[in-house]
Structure 1
Amino acid sequence: MNTLGITIMGAAGKMGRRITEKLSQENLRLFLCEKGEKGIQYLLAKGLQPVPQEEAIPQSDLVIMAIPDRNLEEVSREVVPLMKKGGTMLYLDATVPYFGNVMLRDDCTFVAAHPCHPPLFGEEEHPEARRDFFGGIAKQDVVIALIQGEEAKLAMAQDICAKIFAPVRNIHRISLEQMAILEPILAEVVAVPAIYIIKEAIDEAVKRGVPEDAALAFMLGHVRIDLAILLGGADIEFSDACKVALKRGYELLFRPDWKKVFEPGIAKSIALEMMQK
């Protein structure tokens, strides 16, 4: 069996570095592509040789797009025509492939994948793994979607994703639309503001005289219980008094129509704005 050839676009970026480090340990032919002068110098300083995309991509079985969302559409128009027939492209996010206008080819396969990151209630033995919020040390799940193309090529991309995001517990096959619901809508548009309210509430408590250490310790402990009850499978439930607080707080804090962020038109407008950053 021939050794897989893989191009990493944006090899000197944050994600590109992680991918390069992981895949350098495997029996693969890696081609590292980087346009920025600082990125090129970084690779050279690490003893790695950058390869022009015009040279790398035609001989690659898989092209990994480890570049910022704002550049994906433009770079796809440069890269996709260079791909060999039967080649595969891996996007590391669904936002631009779903909401944007990336270039596709009928004779190539296109895949999107994204890490779930280590779960809050994951069971890790080592302190270093328990402090790993991004992934790479602690176990995590991954979601993957076939944008278009061959199932066999999806399976190949999935195997590479398992190496990139290792250690991996489960890889969940979903659709591109479902992945776009998960991120940016669920994980960023909904979760981040909800958690930001908690941070603002802690700040407000401190302004009103609560010692900061006490407020933070109290909130983090209680949030853990709340998340365990609602999401973590804890065999307990909120007290009757807490259910009153939940109802009244929900009415005061959230707009009745907040779920409209999931509507396609609103979701797309938010995503398009995010893609420019």
Structure 2
Amino acid sequence: MSAEIKEKTMTTNVAILGAGGNMGRRITRGLTGNPDYSLRLIERGDRGRALIAEAGNTHIEQTEGLAGADVVIFAVPDKISRHVAAEIIPLLDAGTSILFLDPAVIAAGRVEERSDINCFVVHPTHPPLYGLLGEADADARRDYWGGGLAHQALVFAKAWGDDAASDGVEALAMAMFAPITRSHRITVHQMAMLEPALTETLANGCVAIIKEGGERVVASGVPEEAVRDFLMGHLQIGIAIIFEQLDWKLSEGAALALEKSKSELFREDWHAIFDEDRLQASLRAITGGD
């Protein structure tokens, strides 16, 4: 099988590993009915198979599903993805492309490179904070995760393999996470800096502390609804100002409190989360430890 991009008139055979899981079913919904792709839904778990059947689809046994597959998508949890990869990759035809939905297992060096196949990684950005305001449909404005209603972007990386296969796999990624505004081609290492370091470690950590702070204020006796209204409003305006989405500035008092907060709330070396050793430690923990 050639690794060259197929003509648009040809159907790409796509095998989805873990097709009965949350991400597997999301991908299936995105690709179902698209004439460019023929889906092979591979699922070992009874619960996952039942969910596939509930959606009106049929699972296929692994051997049959992998035979002649053009692209194999690893829609499996990070902790087991390296083990699944070790089993699956030796079974693939030369020229097959594999697609991971998170950079962790590849960035951590957990998957042994096979030179005659192509390896890619993709991850959706999720609908952007202020982008949701531009969605015409009310349900789309509440599609925070990116379930197929609201627009989002992608980050896409080639780990190894034939550059000629990149366009076709990227197009597949855009179809399965549609609607997509744009796809950013970056490296696997850059993707790992985005997740887990920037988003899961830094951003989620800050947001979790903010939530905890709100809970402490409620516990002190301030009415919960007042706390929530005040905090959510200030989160919105604070993010808009700091990320320069609004032609406005923080008040002098707010700016002073912000500057003081850095030394009181954060270690001076907080940015070490982006250092290679810390990043690798995080990636290895996510993918099942040592």
Shorter-chain TM-score: which interval? over 0.9
Q: Aligned pair 1:23/2:23, yes or no?
A: no
1:113 equivalent among 105, 113, 122? 122
1:183-217 C-alpha deviation (Å, 9 max, x unpaired): 01111011111001110111111122211111111
Deviations 1:28-72 (A, max 9, x none): 221111111222233234442222222221311000100001111
Query: What amino acid does structure 1 have at the position aligned with 2:71?
Result: L
Q: Deviation of residue 151 (structure 1)?
A: 2.0
- Normalised TM-score (structure 2): 0.92
Q: Which residue of 2 aligns with 1:234?
A: 246
Counterpart CA distance in 1 for 2:279 and 2:184 is: 23
1:81 deviation in Å?
1.4
CA contact (8 A) 1:73 1:100 kept: no
Native 8 Å contact 1:70 1:276 kept in 2:
yes
Structure 2 counterpart of 1:206, which letter?
V
Does 2:196 correspond to 1:184? yes
Q: Which runs of 5+ in 1 are unaligned?
A: none
CA distance in 2, matches of 1:276, 1:217: 40
Asked if 1:4 corresponds to 2:15, the answer is no
Contact 2:14 2:72 survives alignment (8 Å):
yes
CA distance in structure 1 between the aligned counterparts of 2:213 and 2:120, rounded to whole angstroms? 40
In 2, the alpha carbon distance for the partners of 1:46 and 1:240 equals 56
Q: In the aligned structure 2, how far is the partner of 1:64 from the partner of 1:206?
A: 45
> 182-191 or 22-31, which moves further after superposition?
22-31
2: CA distance, partners of 1:232 / 1:115 = 23
Out of 234, 241, 247, which is 1:222 matched to?
234
Secondary structure at the residue paired with 1:86?
Answer: coil
Bigger relative contact order, structure 1 or 2, given CA contacts below 8 A and separation 6+? 2
2:135 equivalent to 1:124: yes
- The amino acid that maps onto 1:239 is S
Deviation, structure 1 residue 90: 0.5
C-alpha separation in 1, matches of 2:94 and 2:160:
14
Q: Judge which range, 217-226 or 20-29, deviates more.
A: 20-29
Q: Which runs of 4+ in 1 moved over 2 A?
A: 40-49, 274-277
What's the offset of the Cα at 1:153? 1.1
Q: Give yes or no for contact 2:13–2:39 (8 Å, CA) kept in 1.
A: yes
C-alpha contact (below 8 Å) 2:25/2:52 kept by paired residues: no
* Structure 2: stretches of 5+ with no match in the other structure: 1-8
Distance 1:125 1:40 in 2: 35
Please give the root-mean-square deviation of Cα atoms over the aligned residues, in Å: 1.4
Percent of aligned pairs with the same residue?
36
1:104 to 104, 113, 119: 113
Q: SS where residue 139 of structure 2 aligns?
A: helix
Is the 8 Å Cα contact of residues 154 and 182 (structure 2) preserved in structure 1? yes
- Name the aligned partner's letter for residue 206 of structure 2: A
For the 8 Å contact 2:104–2:283, the answer to whether it is kept is yes
The answer to whether the Cα contact below 8 Å between 1:10 and 1:34 also exists between their aligned partners in 2 is yes
